[in-house]
Amino acid sequence: MKNTKYIFVTGGVTSSLGKGIISASLAKLFQGRGFSVTIQKLDPYINVDPGTLNPYEHGECFVTEDGAETDLDLGHYERFSNEPTSQANNVTAGRIYQYVINKEREGGYLGTTVQVIPHITDEIKRRIKLLGQNGSYDFVITEIGGTVGDIESFPFIEAIRQMRWEMGKNCAVIHLTLVPYLSAAGELKTKPTQHSVKTMLEQGVQPDIIVCRTEHHLNDGIRSKIAQFCNVDVSAVIESIDAASIYEVPLHMLEERLDIEVLRKTSTPIPEKIDISSWEQFLQRLHNPLHQVTVALVGKYADLKDAYKSINEAFIHAGVANECKVSIRYVHSDQLDHGKLADVLSDVDGVLVAPGFGERGIEGKIAAIEFVRTKKIPFLGICLGMQCAVIEFARNVLQLKDAHSTEMNPRTPFPVIDIIQTQKGIKNLGGTMRLGAYPCKLDPDSKVFSLYRETMISERHRHRYEFNNEYKKAFQKAGMNLAGIYPNENLVEVIELDDHPWFIGVQYHPEYKSTVANPHPLFVGFVKAMLDNKTGKS
Ligand code: GLN
């Protein structure tokens, strides 16, 4: 049984400073020193989970093994630590309030006035401690979303204050701020950091460590100024300089001794050695690619990289596995018509059609797929991308005019993608899709099998619609191999084309499972196929 320590990561001055990356980097360093660690994100918004948010709000929705729709930072946690997360790792204010209000309705607080303090804060603390409960982690790192001073983050900061008071040295607080550079003055400015720490102090929390996001190195003068005004040791002022790649941040944090500082603050004996050699090798390969390919990512959020975060990162992992830099060309599916296809796609080495919901951009996706199918360009379709490949094949190969998914056209004469029975009666949209890990059986004669080298795989899902089995025979006869099936419900999970060098569509989301330590076989295979296509090897 471990004496679990709790580390909190808060943010000040602005959002988007990279608390998630700092948390994931610290976890990586702890792992390198032999500690077990998990990371949790508490989001102060009222949505019960981010599943109902559009990607413009918070970027991609990341799905865990147990089917939780979570914040995209959980993707970073998994990619860095190579440890799966779960519903318990992402809790929103909405989920906390929902729980407390339901309990009140059930009579769980009979006789008492239910209040933010203690009832909401107690529930927040319970959710934090839940992860450390069975003693399997040395450290639980809890990142608090948003910025200190926001009205909605008050109960979370109060919960930290209480936990700290209860647990003393078993807790530490890291506060991430921005140290802006004023080019006119030629100076880094510490005032916003001072104010941000003051805001925390007003709420009763003195940060132990201040991580300063900056575009320029902090000199000794700046470090001591921050230390002096924010009541921390100079060694606890940590520089987080802009990095060319997020994967460099653990090494920056190692250099700045963030892990050592946290170990000291929590009175944890400091292991002498750290082993992060495989991470260093990854970076070495990342920075010295031997090859380069360009992939077009066709999606309706092409102006928003965060909407496809896990896909971008999966390409980085798979690129490193192939010693290849993968450049991504984002292509707006709703601006893609037949006239523009050749201009946009003829010089790429492969095309990925992205997941998504709704009608917008769908015809552009289908047109792009016709282009890559007929021109024999490597193709990977994910979820809606796979469904579009089915629709394209139905329309252009099977000659089923106006074939469609019933999501886009409920009256299509040929519903090749349709909603399954178990999804039909569903009225509530939150958390009711086919979500999380499901098994899939691969055809041993398929391309996907040669990539996974396993018959039974497990992949994560997030969708309502499925391949319509009534059309199975027609597709197979015309050369589409239904190469992966979810056996329990006989649902098609993977499609591939017999007479194409590399054309694969998957109903699941492989990108969620790709990590630095374990690049995903489908992405590794796709990058290799693009390289082969480029060098004319296929
Ligand atoms: N909109 C499709 C469905 O619900 C695909 C979802 C997705 O791409 N994640 O089935």
pLDDT tens-digit profile of 513-531?
Answer: 999 999 999 999 999 999 9
Residue 482 in tokens = 């239904």
Q: Measure 354 CA to ligand 1 centroid, in angstroms.
A: 10
Q: Measure 386 CA to ligand 1 centroid, in angstroms.
A: 9
* CB 5 within 8 Å of CB 171: yes
Q: Is the CB of 356 under 6 A from ligand 1?
A: yes
* CB 265 within 8 Å of CB 209: yes
Q: Is the CB of 174 under 6 A from ligand 1?
A: no
Rg of the chain (C-alpha set): 25
**Residue bearing the CA closest to ligand 1, atom 3:** 463
Single-letter amino acid code for the residue at 163: M
Please give the number of the atom of ligand 1 that sits closest to the Cα of 417: 10
Q: Average pLDDT, stretch 62-91?
A: 95
Q: Measure 408 CA to ligand 1 centroid, in angstroms.
A: 11
* 538 has pLDDT over 70: no
CA–centroid distance for 520 within its chain: 14
Q: Average pLDDT, stretch 267-295?
A: 96
Give 268's contacts (C-beta < 8 A, 6+ positions apart): 5, 138, 262
- Beta bridge mates, 7: 141, 172
Q: Average pLDDT, stretch 206-227?
A: 97
Beta strand 69-70 with 187-188 is: unpaired
Give alpha helix (H) positions in 322-463: 338-345, 362-374, 384-396, 421-424, 447-452
Nearest to 446 by CA among 480, 477, 488, 491: 480
Q: Looking at the annotation, which residues are catalytic?
A: 383, 509, 511
Rounded to whole angstroms, the Cα distance separating 189 from 221 reads 11
What is the helix (H) or strand (E) element at residue 127, kind and residue range?
helix 121-132
Q: Measure 203 CA to ligand 1 centroid, in angstroms.
A: 43
Rounded to 10 degrees, the C-alpha dihedral 78/80/81/84 comes to: 10
Q: Is the CB of 505 under 6 A from ligand 1?
A: no
Q: Is the CB of 462 under 6 A from ligand 1?
A: yes
Q: Is the CB of 61 under 6 A from ligand 1?
A: no
Q: What is the pLDDT of residues 220-274, one digit of tens each?
A: 999 999 999 999 999 999 999 999 999 999 999 999 999 999 999 999 999 989 9
Question: Which of 54, 300, 462 to probe ligand 1 with, by most ligand atoms within 8 A of CB?
Answer: 462
Q: Is the CB of 464 under 6 A from ligand 1?
A: yes
| Cα–Cα–Cα angle for 402, 475, 419, rounded to 5 degrees | 60
Q: Average pLDDT, stretch 336-348?
A: 85
Q: Average pLDDT, stretch 289-299?
A: 96
Q: Average pLDDT, stretch 163-186?
A: 95
* 422 has pLDDT over 80: no
* 337 has pLDDT over 80: no
Q: Measure 67 CA to ligand 1 centroid, in angstroms.
A: 15
What is each CA distance from 212 to 61, 148, 197, 480, in whole angstroms?
Answer: 28, 15, 12, 54
Q: What is the pLDDT of residue 305?
A: 83
* % of the chain residues with pLDDT over 90: 87
Please give the number of the atom of ligand 1 that sits closest to the Cα of 407: 1
Give 536's contacts (C-beta < 8 A, 6+ positions apart): none
Q: Is the CB of 139 under 6 A from ligand 1?
A: no
Please give the number of the atom of ligand 1 that sits closest to the Cα of 357: 1
* 407 has pLDDT over 80: yes
pTM of the model: 0.95
Lowest mean pLDDT among 264-278, 300-314, 370-384: 300-314
Could you write out the DSSP letters of every residue in 130-146? HHHTTS--SEEEEEEPS
Please give the number of the atom of ligand 1 that sits closest to the Cα of 358: 1
Give alpha helix (H) positions in 269-412: 277-287, 309-321, 338-345, 362-374, 384-396
**How many CB atoms within 10 Å of residue 451?**
20
Q: Is the CB of 41 under 6 A from ligand 1?
A: no
* 374 has pLDDT over 80: yes
| 3 compared with 209, residue with greater pLDDT | 209
* 356 has pLDDT over 60: yes
Q: Is the CB of 384 under 6 A from ligand 1?
A: yes
* 537 has pLDDT over 70: no
* CB 130 within 8 Å of CB 81: no
Q: What is the pLDDT of residue 342?
A: 85
Q: Measure 465 CA to ligand 1 centroid, in angstroms.
A: 6
Question: Which of 406, 407, 460 to probe ligand 1 with, by most ligand atoms within 8 A of CB?
Answer: 407
Q: Is the CB of 434 under 6 A from ligand 1?
A: no
Q: Measure 462 CA to ligand 1 centroid, in angstroms.
A: 7
| First-residue to last-residue Cα distance in the chain | 54
Q: Is the CB of 463 under 6 A from ligand 1?
A: yes
Residue 152 in tokens = 């909605």
Please give the number of the atom of ligand 1 that sits closest to the Cα of 383: 8
Q: Average pLDDT, stretch 50-66?
A: 88
* CB 214 within 8 Å of CB 249: no
At 264, phi and psi to the nearest 5? -65, -45
Q: Is the CB of 69 under 6 A from ligand 1?
A: no
Q: What is the pLDDT of residues 186-196, one digit of tens each?
A: 999 999 999 99
Q: Is the CB of 407 under 6 A from ligand 1?
A: yes
Q: Measure 506 CA to ligand 1 centroid, in angstroms.
A: 11
**Residue bearing the CA closest to ligand 1, atom 8:** 355
**Residue bearing the CA closest to ligand 1, atom 5:** 384
SS3 336: coil
| Sign for the pseudo-dihedral over CA of 261, 263, 264, 270 | negative
**Residue bearing the CA closest to ligand 1, atom 1:** 357
Burial readout 413-445 (b: 16 or more C-beta within 10 A, e: otherwise): ebbbbbbeeeeeeeeeeeeebbbbbbebbbbee
